[in-house]
Structure 1
Amino acid sequence: MTAAQGVLSGLRLVEAAAFVAAPLGGMTLAQMGADVIRIDPLEGGLDYRRWPVTEDNTSLFWCGLNKSKRSVALNLATEEGRELAMAIACAPGDDAGMFLTNFPARGWLDHEKLKARRPDLIQLTLQGDRHGGSAVDYTVNPRLGVPLFTGDPASDEPVNHVLPAWDLITGQMVAVGLLAAERHRRRTGEGQHIKLSLQDVGLAVMGHLGFIAEAQLGNPRERHGNELFGAFGRDFVCRDGVRVMVVGLTGKQWRSIAQATQLEVPLQQLGERLGLDLSEEGNRFRARAGIAQLVGEWMARLDFKDVATAFDRHGVCWTRYQSIAQLVNDDPECSPANPLFAKVDQPGVGEVLAPGIPLRFDARMRVPPAAAPKLGEHTEQVLAQLAGIDAAQFGRLHDRGIVR
């Protein structure tokens, strides 16, 4: 199976970016079949050695966020190198002329300069904040207040969780923005410069989820530890020490917990004592301490295998807590048994398990995951294809340190 079978086959995006959000946006398109060409300096970009790394300093981070792309390495400190980069970004073609960067839009990255070469150019520039300032997930999160309602309710210390949520959401927004602009260009012939900021994405999501309105109404979110806010859900420990998470958000989920634990009558009596109808999710949150005591006592009497059997029989929404090592070594969902994954031979790393795109399109088969390229692996190929550079010219550019 090749990229030609992807739903975005034929689309070309040129990317000059680093770290998470922008490269993730580009890779999202690449894993749906688009031809995504990443341009880096000869020595690699800012994220080329980003941790985690192998013993020989190959970045697993870089490999993970650049799968299925082509790599071009140019001496961008030279005028000639920058000219080649602009030629690649502005190369002709109805499905080309799309450019993504999260660097300041100046020099060869300046939209007006690129637009002069290709008037219908679509460029998306990702910024830290809407003013063009620097921001990353670890600075956006504190500004939004999230670390102050995450963690142990008994603690006043901020908890900056390690998952870069805003980067991940922004990466998907990058892909959506580029595809929306490409559709607009197909209808009107107009290119445009799209600007997107990491901080604005975070602010928007805080509004979408009700956090901002909640604070405006005088009830800013408080810490609730591992409890599900607004319904029933929390972690419990089985008799043999295995920890599980149980959720009763919907009515069906709540009834399945009561049935699996054989606590229908005690839970009904709890609701009557408290004057709460536990079929309503908000009331389950109000009664969470009493519910947790009943469910926790049931859990504490059983080993994990018996809890799992009862939960699965009744369709409870639950999962076991496990380490990343357990996920990789023992969980069939994180293996080639799941069509999302395949083993790829990653240069500099060896054979690794790699995910493709989670989307499944009925019209096209899923494009299997491909390794990230070696730095500069496709420089000669891309320059020949898009800039008309023949082998002799490429050799002279190489000898002068312009290309890798």
Structure 2
Amino acid sequence: MTVKPLAGITVFENDSFVAGPSSTLALSQLGAEVVKIDPIKGGPDIDRWPITDEGRSIYWGTLNRNKRSVAIDLRSEEGQELAQALITSPGENAGVFVDNNVGRPFLSDEVLRARRADLVHVKVQGSADGGPGVDYTVNAEVGIPLITGEVGSPGPGNHALPAWDLVCGQAAVTAVVTGLFRRATTGEGIYEEIALKDIALAGVANLGWYTETLQPAGERAKHGNHIFGSFGSDFRTADGRYVMITAITRRQWGNLVKVTGMTDVVTALEASLSTDFSEETDRYTYRDLLESLFRPWFASRTAERITTDLEGSGVLWAPYASMGEVAQSVLDSDGSGVVRSIESEALGTMLVAANPIRMDGEYLFDERPTTFGSDTHAVLSERLGLESAELGRLVDAGVIAS
């Protein structure tokens, strides 16, 4: 069994939604003990969709598994003191805090660092000026929706995936690990801030997309399901399924032409247009023409036949699958892939992912469901030495969950 690299480290979090919780989930999968401190009635995402028929949040349960859940009345002075004491509790492998809270000055870095100078504190923000922001508003601001969607459609095209949240979560993991390294080598703590909008701006800028707008052609137009700058699009099969075909390299293009029997047609077309489709730019320039050329081949074959024809051909392709189909394939698998099932008393069968980083050829997978507030007493007892009488008093006073 591979030893998890962060085994022995304790991370505290006070956050909600995707970026922060996804970062601490990843840290837990790398071996850290994660203690999630939430308001006594839950954070703003405690009931967020998707939900079960009984109204329990699948969203919260999935992102916050593998963690110890502590529920405290963070509006009370006594509850605030408990939260501060937990986050700054002693131990060379403790003193790590991830948050994205706004309006909780008792959890500010200044206050916490006064209690523990070597604190590794990572704060996730909406924007660098402290303003609010979520994936869907940030994505709108950086330009992506206006190049997303069908050709000629006038408005923006939002997408379902909170991509910037997920990238930001992994940046927070990097921040925690680098903070731990700094503390291990210098003895000093660190305060690191990550703005979701900065993550999005940096991602788009580093792809060269803003520089592209400075060229004579100006801003990019929408191009539907075509891959920008190369050849790739979706094709409908005879039985109403869809496949995604890409030809980014010369070899992939040549294999696609060969397997579809289009060699002579493509050669003649290149001659008539004085072009060379082995060049990526030319494939993109004539993308609509090439799509119409290949469309009948796919339309005349079932998805099963296309699978038979393309497997082992060197064509880069994939069938489109619904989420339900993917889920069923996981249930039908041998359970050794990145996505696996665990059972939860509250949510039933959960399909969850191991950390995608394979170590010594293995996924790190040791998953357990988390029940909101269930670890409150144990954590306060272990970390702060509170005995049962004091815990009972705090319950009676409404400071902690029962």
Could you tell me the TM-score, scaled by structure 1's length?
0.94
The offset of 1:143, in angstroms, is 1.1
Secondary structure of residue in 2 paired with 1:162: coil
Contact residue 244 and residue 319 of structure 1 kept, 8 A = yes
Q: Where does residue 157 of structure 2 map in the other structure?
A: 159
Q: Where does residue 209 of structure 2 map in the other structure?
A: 211
Q: Where does residue 51 of structure 1 map in the other structure?
A: 49
Partner AA of 1:63 in structure 2: G
Contact residue 6 and residue 366 of structure 1 kept, 8 A = no
Secondary structure of residue in 2 paired with 1:123: strand
- Encode CA deviations 1:238-289: one digit per residue, 9 max, x unaligned: 2222211100012222222112112222223222322222222122111212
Indicate whether 1:278 and 2:277 are aligned: yes
1:107-122 to structure 2, matched below 5 A, reads 107-122=105-120
Q: Where does residue 18 of structure 1 map in the other structure?
A: 16
Contact residue 70 and residue 377 of structure 1 kept, 8 A = yes
Return the alpha-carbon distance in structure 1 between the equivalents of residues 27 and 339 of structure 2.
17
Partner AA of 1:340 in structure 2: V
- Encode CA deviations 1:13-53: one digit per residue, 9 max, x unaligned: 10000001111111110111111110001111111011111
Secondary structure of residue in 2 paired with 1:313: coil
Indicate whether 1:390 and 2:387 are aligned: yes
Structure 1 segments unaligned to the other structure (5+ residues): none
Partner AA of 2:381 in structure 1: A
Return the alpha-carbon distance in structure 2 between the equivalents of residues 57 and 359 of structure 1.
33
- Encode CA deviations 1:129-153: one digit per residue, 9 max, x unaligned: 1100011111111111211110011
- Encode CA deviations 1:102-157: one digit per residue, 9 max, x unaligned: 01274221111100110010111111111000111111111112111100112102
Partner AA of 2:30 in structure 1: M
Return the alpha-carbon distance in structure 1 between the equivalents of residues 382 and 145 of structure 2.
49
Change (3 A) 1:332 1:348: closer
Return the alpha-carbon distance in structure 2 between the equivalents of residues 166 and 216 of structure 1.
24
Could you tell me the TM-score, scaled by structure 2's length?
0.95
Return the alpha-carbon distance in structure 1 between the equivalents of residues 286 and 294 of structure 2.
12
1:93-108 to structure 2, matched below 5 A, reads 93-104=91-102, 106-108=104-106
Structure 2 segments unaligned to the other structure (5+ residues): none
| Counterpart among 115, 138, 141 of residue 140 in structure 1 | 138
Q: Where does residue 256 of structure 2 map in the other structure?
A: 257
Q: Where does residue 267 of structure 1 map in the other structure?
A: 266
Contact residue 14 and residue 100 of structure 1 kept, 8 A = yes
Q: Where does residue 173 of structure 1 map in the other structure?
A: 171
Percent identical across equivalent pairs?
37
Secondary structure of residue in 2 paired with 1:314: coil
Secondary structure of residue in 1 paired with 2:350: strand
Return the alpha-carbon distance in structure 2 between the equivalents of residues 195 and 177 of structure 1.
9
Q: Greater shift after overlay, 127-136 or 262-271? A: 262-271
Contact residue 169 and residue 201 of structure 1 kept, 8 A = yes
Return the alpha-carbon distance in structure 2 between the equivalents of residues 160 and 5 of structure 1.
41
The offset of 1:334, in angstroms, is 8.0
Partner AA of 2:298 in structure 1: M
| Counterpart among 370, 383, 400 of residue 373 in structure 1 | 370
Contact residue 38 and residue 70 of structure 1 kept, 8 A = yes
Q: Greater shift after overlay, 154-163 or 272-281? A: 272-281
Indicate whether 1:38 and 2:36 are aligned: yes
Q: Where does residue 90 of structure 2 map in the other structure?
A: 92
The offset of 1:226, in angstroms, is 0.3
Return the alpha-carbon distance in structure 1 between the equivalents of residues 271 and 187 of structure 2.
65
Return the alpha-carbon distance in structure 2 between the equivalents of residues 117 and 339 of structure 1.
43
Change (3 A) 1:250 1:337: farther
Change (3 A) 1:209 1:334: farther
Partner AA of 1:196 in structure 2: I
1:286-365 to structure 2, matched below 5 A, reads 286-329=285-328, 331-332=329-330, 335-362=333-360, 365=362
1:241-256 to structure 2, matched below 5 A, reads 241-256=240-255
The offset of 1:212, in angstroms, is 0.6
Contact residue 330 and residue 340 of structure 2 kept, 8 A = no
Q: How many residues align?
A: 400
Contact residue 344 and residue 369 of structure 1 kept, 8 A = no
Return the alpha-carbon distance in structure 2 between the equivalents of residues 344 and 305 of structure 1.
31
